[in-house]
Structure 1
Amino acid sequence: MISRFGKSFLFIVVFLFLLGSIALLHPPSRSYIDPWTGDLFGEGGVEKGLHVQPALSESTVHGDVIMSKLGNATAKAELGRATWKLLHTMTLRFPETPTQDERDALNNYFHLMSRLYPCGECAAEFQLLLKKFPPQTSSRRAAATWLCVVHNQVNERLHKPEFDCAHLDETYDCGCGDEPPAELSDLADPRDIMDLERDYSTDELTGVGMIKGGR
C-alpha cells in the first residue's frame, strides 16, 4: 500500500503536470490595464470581450461647441491663420478618387473640428457654415474648392479680400510635386498666398495704407 506521504507526493506531481500542460496550451500574454479607461491591453490590442471604444456616433460628430470664448484677439488671429493653412493643405492633398471611408473621415474631421476648435465663437460660426455649405468630399478638387468657398464666406464677413478659387491649385504649393519647395529668399513675394486673414494693403500696426511695392 502507498503511504500517506507517497499519496501526497503523487498528488503534487500530478498537479504540477496538469499546471504545466495548461501553461503550454495557453501561454500567458503580456498585457496591462489602462488606468484611465480600465481597458485590458494585450499584444494584439484591446482584449476581446472587454470594453472597446465604440464607433463615432451622430451626436459625437454633430454635437455642440465644446470650447469657451477666446478673448485674446492676437491668439485668435494666429490660430485662424494656422488652421486655414492646415485645412487648405489637407484638402489639396486629399485623394483624387477617395473611398467612402476616406470621404467619411474628411467629413467627420470638419464636423469634429467645429466642436473642438479652441475658439468657441469661431467654432459656432463654422458650424453654421457647415450647415449652410455641407462638406464636399467626392474628390480633391471638390474638397479644395468647397473649403475655399467657405473661407471666402469668412473673409466676406470680416471684410477681407476674396480669393480666386478657380486657380487655387495654381497659386498654392501644397508640396505635392517631386521638386522641393523653393526657399523663401528665392521667392519674389514671400507672403503666404493663402493667408487670407491678413490685409497686406495696410500696415498691420498703424492701419495706414501701404505705398506701391510695400507690404
Structure 2
Amino acid sequence: MTTDEVLRVDGLTRRLDDGTALVDDVSFAIGRGEVVAVVGGSGAGKSSLLRLLNRLDEPTAGSVEVDGTDQSALRPSDLRRRVGMVPQTPRMFPGTVADNLRWAAAERGDRLGDDEIASLLERVRLSGYADREASSLSGGEAQRVSLARVLANRPEVLLLDEPTSALDEDTKGEVETTLRDLLSSGEVTCLVVTHDEAQARRLAGRALRMRDGRVVASGSVEEVLGR
C-alpha cells in the first residue's frame, strides 16, 4: 500500500431542517489501497456518511476530495463512477449477469468484452455466471454481481454499506470470503460500513467509530475495537 491519499474528508456535516445532525464535523483521510471500517450503533451516522461521499445526499458543510479534486467540481455521475457504492440490498437490472456488467461500463461510454466480463466474475467468485438470468440469482450471488458491476467502473474508492447484513449466515460467509480475497490484494481502496465488529476486524486494517454523527475514535482496528 502506498501512502498517498485517495479520499480526504474535512468537516463534513449534514443537518436536517430541524437542526438534527446526521453527520457532524467528520474529518479523515484514506490512503491508496487502504481498507477502513466504519463501525457504530444504529443511528450513529455510518450510512449517512457514505451517502455524502458520492453525493447521494448533499452536505450542509465541509468538503470531500477524491484524489485531490473537490467532489463539488465533478458531475455526480462521474463522481459515482470514481467513488462506487455497493448498497446493502442489491438491485439487478433485467437481463443476464453479463448485461448487468455491460450496463455499468456503458454508463462511462465503454464496452466490456467477454474476457473482461469473465475476469470481473472471477474476481467475485462467480466464474461461469455470465449467461445466468440476473432475476434467478440468490441474495449472495446478486450481492457479488452488484460488487462486480461497481468494479467494472474501475472506481478509485469502493464504498460498502453493510454488505452482508441482509444475508443468512452461510451466504454471508460466501460474500465475506469474496470481499477478503478482493481487499487483501491492496489494489482496492475501500471504506466499509458494518455493525459487525468481528467482520470489521477480518476486513479492515483501520477503523472509525461513529456515535451521534461524529467520529469518536480513529486508529488501527485493534486500537478502536480493542484486542
Larger Rg: 1
TM-score for the superposition, normalised by structure 1: 0.26
Q: TM-score scaled by structure 2?
A: 0.25
When you count helix as a share of all residues, which structure comes out higher? 1
Quick check: which one's strand share is greater? 2
Q: Which has the higher contact order (CA 8 A, sep 6+)?
A: 2
